[in-house]
């Protein structure tokens, strides 16, 4: 103990040196330990400074260049897509190329949308050598989400014209290529999993009975409703899988519907009326569009004949009703869209009654009921509440 305390108090400037003056100091121990440490400390400092100057520089450069390079790459893709589209359309606004966000401008430009819609509805559209279908296919496979939205915008027209012209037994390989590309993209994105939702257990009298603890395992009591089954990869379009492939394209359109322009949704409502067997006389948007671009009543009549009533399996009807539900109850302020969706829903309801399809009648009738509740809040009543009245009605 005496040796440890003498070595620790060897410094004469230490405040404890006066208190322990009777202990003999041994300064040689400190001297031998401090002498070799001084050169190693200076070498360590110099090596740390050299390493720090090398390590910091590339991190700063990488962090500053990554966002700008990705945005410029996306912009170059959009510019290349617009340039290739200019050889297909008759005219492209000059402001489209100089826009800071060309993909967004391409999605919402009314002139571009009107020309593409007119070409897609042309009687000779949809063939394998169609330049517009090739452009839509290449644009969707560009893996740029902003450019893929442009293709999503025209899914209602592609699906509507394609399904309506199947009975003509005409080559529609261009439309099929685009729809198969959309289907393959959605198949990869889902990873073999279905789209499901949890629903209340209808075996109980009310939701309050479900709150009671159960002795069974909760994992076995999950009530799952399958909205969309798992997808299998398909590379060809066949009659047995056509409705499923087109329905998946409409499901993808519904997942992006909040970013779609109003005109695209109105075009879908128009095709729902055509699919249900209704005429297009009351659809103002479609009539003016063809009259302005084609200027010929004969071509309009040809288009009307090619777009006709079709079978409506559940694979097509379910995503269609989900889209119409958004058009009726979504956060929009367009009266034209609401009227078009309301008319399309009534047409599908009448078609369901004609086919005596109980599942379709329940779905379309419920959507019409929700429409009335949205227009008149007084209809929105809770039948579980007990009315306070003096008269009892039996």
Cβ neighbours of residue 276 closer than 8 Å, sequence gap 6 or more: 309, 312, 344, 347, 348, 350, 351
Among the residues of the chain, which ranges form H helices?
A: 2-8, 28-34, 37-86, 94-97, 102-108, 110-120, 131-140, 145-153, 155-164, 173-190, 207-210, 242-255, 262-276, 284-293, 297-306, 314-329, 335-355, 358-375
pLDDT of residue 3: 45
Report d(CA 339, CA 282) in Å as an integer: 11
- Produce one character per residue of 80-114: b if its CB has 16 or more CB atoms within 10 Å, e if not: ebbeebeeebeebeeebeebeebbebbbebeebbb
- pLDDT of 296 > 70? The answer is no
Give the residue from 321, 315, 316 showing the smallest Cα distance to 370.
321
Model confidence at 278, pLDDT cuts 50, 70, 90, reads low
Global confidence as pTM? 0.70
Quick one: pLDDT band at residue 388, thresholds 50, 70, 90? low
Report phi then psi at 10, rounded to 5: -75, -20
Per-residue pLDDT tens digits for 143-187? 889 999 999 999 999 999 999 998 888 889 999 999 999 999 999
Residue 225 phi, psi dihedral angles, 5° rounding: -105, 125
Higher pLDDT, 354 or 54: 354
pLDDT digit string, tens, across residues 97-116 = 788 888 999 999 999 999 99
| Sequence-separated (6 or more) residues with CB below 8 Å from residue 261 | 107, 108, 113, 153
pLDDT tens sequence across 237-264: 988 899 999 999 999 999 999 999 999 9
Cα separation, 235 vs 275, whole angstroms: 26
Tokens of 244: 């499923």
269, burial (CB in 10 Å: exposed 0-12, middle 13-18, buried 19+): buried
At residue 307, φ and ψ (nearest 5 deg) are -100, 105
Q: Which of 186-195, 338-347, 353-362, 383-392 has the lowest mean pLDDT?
A: 383-392
Q: Does the pLDDT at position 44 exceed 60?
A: no
Is the confidence at residue 68, as pLDDT, over 80?
A: no
334/297: higher pLDDT:
334
């Amino acid at each position: 103990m005496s040796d440890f305390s003498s070595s620790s108090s060897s410094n004469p400037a230490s405040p404890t040196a006066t208190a322990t003056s009777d202990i003999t100091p041994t300064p040689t121990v400190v001297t031998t330990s401090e002498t070799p440490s001084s050169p190693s400390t200076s070498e360590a400092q110099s090596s740390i400074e050299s390493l720090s100057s090398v390590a910091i520089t590339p991190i700063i450069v990488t962090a500053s260049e990554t966002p700008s390079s990705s945005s410029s790459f996306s912009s170059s893709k959009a510019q290349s897509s617009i340039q290739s589209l200019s050889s297909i359309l008759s005219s492209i606004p000059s402001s489209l190329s100089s826009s800071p966000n060309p993909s967004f401008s391409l999605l919402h430009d009314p002139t571009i949308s009107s020309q593409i819609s007119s070409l897609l509805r042309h009687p000779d559209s949809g063939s394998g050598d169609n330049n517009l279908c090739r452009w839509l296919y290449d644009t969707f496979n560009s893996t740029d989400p902003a450019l893929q939205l442009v293709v999503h915008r025209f899914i209602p027209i592609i699906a509507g014209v394609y399904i309506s012209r199947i009975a003509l037994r005409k080559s529609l390989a261009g439309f099929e290529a685009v729809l198969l590309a959309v289907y393959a993209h959605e198949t990869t994105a889902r990873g073999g999993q279905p789209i499901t939702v949890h629903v209340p257990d209808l075996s109980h009298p009310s939701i309050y009975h479900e709150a009671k603890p159960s002795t069974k395992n909760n994992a076995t009591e999950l009530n799952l409703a399958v909205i969309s089954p798992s997808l299998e990869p398909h590379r060809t379009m066949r009659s047995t899988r056509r409705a499923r492939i087109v329905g998946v394209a409409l499901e993808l359109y519904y997942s992006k519907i909040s970013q779609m322009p109003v005109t695209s949704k109105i075009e879908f409502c128009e095709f729902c009326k055509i699919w249900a067997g209704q005429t297009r006389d009351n659809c103002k948007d479609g009539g003016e569009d063809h009259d302005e671009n084609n200027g010929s009543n004969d071509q309009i009549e040809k288009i009307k004949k090619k777009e006709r009533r079709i079978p409506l399996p559940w694979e097509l009807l379910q995503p269609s009703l989900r889209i119409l539900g958004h058009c009726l109850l979504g956060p929009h302020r367009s009266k034209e869209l609401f009227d078009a969706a309301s008319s399309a829903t009534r047409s599908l309801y009448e078609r369901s009654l004609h086919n005596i399809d109980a599942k379709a009648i329940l779905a379309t009738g419920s959507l019409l009921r929700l429409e009335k509740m949205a227009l008149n809040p007084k209809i929105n009543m809770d039948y579980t509440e007990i009315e306070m009245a003096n008269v009892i009605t039996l």
